[in-house]
């Protein structure tokens, strides 16, 4: 059987597994708000090339010396989230393993700048990773020739987009990746029809007229506000993280209603986003794709793995759903990530 056929077969198998439901013990091992006593933490701010302020939490590993530069890792949060959701956890765990790490807020979200708030711009999101490389590469304690990226959920696709045109990003790992372009154009498992897509575009276009004339801004998607017996497994999964104490975090200036929700008029911009086009050009820099065997998003990691050139690695965490890999420290393969970056950032 050809390699592409094997990947296709693996995709069919993974996606045939029933996705994890809210009734299952998803909270086992969950520790989104983990605080490490071993690393030094500092809030930092810097600008991207467009002058937008990027906010980050910088973590310095134990025993770090100013005259001994350490490899560094940029960590991007899930789409619609903020650095306090999943990204801080990954950054601290990797700092404990000897890396300088920087968890960032993407522009338009969290403590980063950019207006209007909750806007979608895949290009500007990707630029944030290059801006983070600007910052890290000019620090006395970080190795400018050893900068890697971890992109969680939507940030996985933004990190890949950045790495295609920024050779300073020497190694990229994605976790529970969403291809935000494919998800917007086609939905999960191709569930979005051409008619559905046409209606979405028409709705966004009409809303532009309304807002141009001073009308109220509208938001779309994001995490539901409540769940019931009619809620889908995916809705329950995101709700348990974003709308409960497990992972809920409302940045100053935002609100419960706006958390995770992009603006309606800008969200369609994702339909022009093709992060996996030319992904093979990242080679010979290494790529690692981490997904769960029960993740509803597994199709995106498998698609990227098939299209990428070597060196590449696909890691399937048995029994894990999409959100499980946000914060379940009992199953997230931190040691495997550390080994990947120690080799890739030499």
Helices (H), the chain: 3-16, 87-95, 122-137, 155-165, 180-186, 194-212, 233-242, 264-267, 298-307, 324-327, 334-344
* Predicted local confidence at residue 66, as pLDDT: 66
CA atoms within 13 A on the CB side of 315: 21
Q: Which two tokens stand for residue 24?
A: 């299952």
Token pair 């999943």 is at which residue? 86
Domains (range + CATH), the chain? 3-192+269-344 (3.40.50.1820)
* Predicted local confidence at residue 17, as pLDDT: 37
Cα 141-145-150 angle, rounded to 5 deg: 85
Whether residue 173 contacts residue 149, with contact meaning beta carbons closer than 8 Å, is answered with yes
Q: Which two tokens stand for residue 109?
A: 């979200």
Distance CA 110, CA 108 (A): 7
* Predicted local confidence at residue 199, as pLDDT: 98
Give residues with Cβ within 8 angstroms of 303, minimum separation 6.
11, 179, 182, 276
Which long-range CB contacts under 8 A does 187-194 form with residues at least 24 apart? 188/234, 188/296, 188/297, 188/299, 189/15, 189/299
The number of beta carbons lying within 10 Å of the beta carbon of residue 284 is 7
Q: Which two tokens stand for residue 152?
A: 């969680």
Residue 21 burial by Cβ neighbours in a 10 Å radius (0-12, 13-18, 19+): middle
CA atoms within 13 A on the CB side of 68: 8
* Predicted local confidence at residue 65, as pLDDT: 74
Q: Report pTM.
A: 0.93
* Predicted local confidence at residue 64, as pLDDT: 82
Cα 85-88-92 angle, rounded to 5 deg: 150
Q: What is the pLDDT along the chain (346 residues), one digit of tens a residue?
A: 454 554 545 554 444 433 333 334 447 899 999 999 999 999 999 999 999 999 999 999 988 876 789 999 999 999 999 999 999 999 999 999 999 999 999 999 999 999 999 999 999 999 999 999 999 999 999 999 999 999 999 999 999 999 999 999 999 999 999 999 999 999 999 999 999 999 999 999 999 999 999 999 999 999 999 999 999 999 999 999 999 999 999 999 899 999 999 999 999 999 999 999 999 999 999 999 999 999 999 999 999 999 999 999 999 999 999 999 999 999 999 999 999 999 999 8
Distance CA 345, CA 70 (A): 10
Whether residue 174 contacts residue 304, with contact meaning beta carbons closer than 8 Å, is answered with yes
* Predicted local confidence at residue 63, as pLDDT: 84
């Amino acid at each position: 059987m050809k390699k592409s056929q094997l990947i296709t077969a693996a995709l069919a198998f993974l996606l045939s597994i029933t996705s994890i439901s809210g009734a299952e013990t998803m909270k086992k091992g969950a520790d989104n708000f983990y605080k490490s006593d071993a690393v030094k933490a500092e809030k930092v701010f810097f600008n991207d090339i467009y002058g937008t302020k990027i906010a980050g939490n910088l973590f310095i590993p134990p025993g770090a010396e100013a005259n001994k530069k350490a490899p560094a890792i940029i960590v991007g949060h899930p789409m619609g989230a903020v650095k306090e959701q999943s990204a801080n956890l990954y950054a601290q765990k990797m700092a404990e393993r000897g890396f300088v790490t920087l968890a960032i807020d993407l522009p338009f979200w969290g403590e980063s700048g950019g207006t209007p708030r909750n806007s979608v711009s895949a290009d500007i999101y990707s630029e944030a990773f290059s801006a983070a490389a600007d910052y890290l590469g000019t620090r006395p304690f970080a190795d400018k020739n050893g900068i890697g990226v971890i992109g969680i959920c939507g940030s996985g696709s933004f990190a890949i987009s950045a790495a295609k045109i920024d050779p300073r990003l020497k190694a990229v790992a994605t976790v529970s990746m969403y291809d935000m372009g494919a998800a917007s154009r086609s939905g999960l498992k191709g569930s979005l029809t051409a008619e559905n897509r046409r209606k979405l575009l028409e709705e966004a276009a009409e809303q532009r007229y309304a807002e141009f004339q001073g009308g109220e801004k509208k938001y779309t998607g994001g995490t539901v506000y409540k769940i019931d017996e009619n809620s889908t497994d995916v809705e329950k999964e995101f709700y348990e993280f974003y709308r409960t104490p497990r992972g809920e975090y409302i940045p100053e200036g935002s609100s419960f209603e706006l958390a995770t929700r992009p603006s309606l008029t800008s969200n369609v911009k994702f339909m022009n986003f093709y992060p996996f086009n030319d992904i093979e050009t990242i080679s010979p820099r290494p790529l690692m794709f981490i997904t769960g065997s029960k993740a509803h998003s597994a199709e995106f990691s498998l698609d990227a793995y098939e299209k990428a050139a070597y060196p590449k690695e696909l890691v399937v965490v048995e029994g894990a759903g999409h959100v499980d890999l946000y914060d379940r420290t009992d199953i997230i393969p931190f040691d495997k990530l550390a080994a990947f970056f120690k080799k890739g950032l030499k």
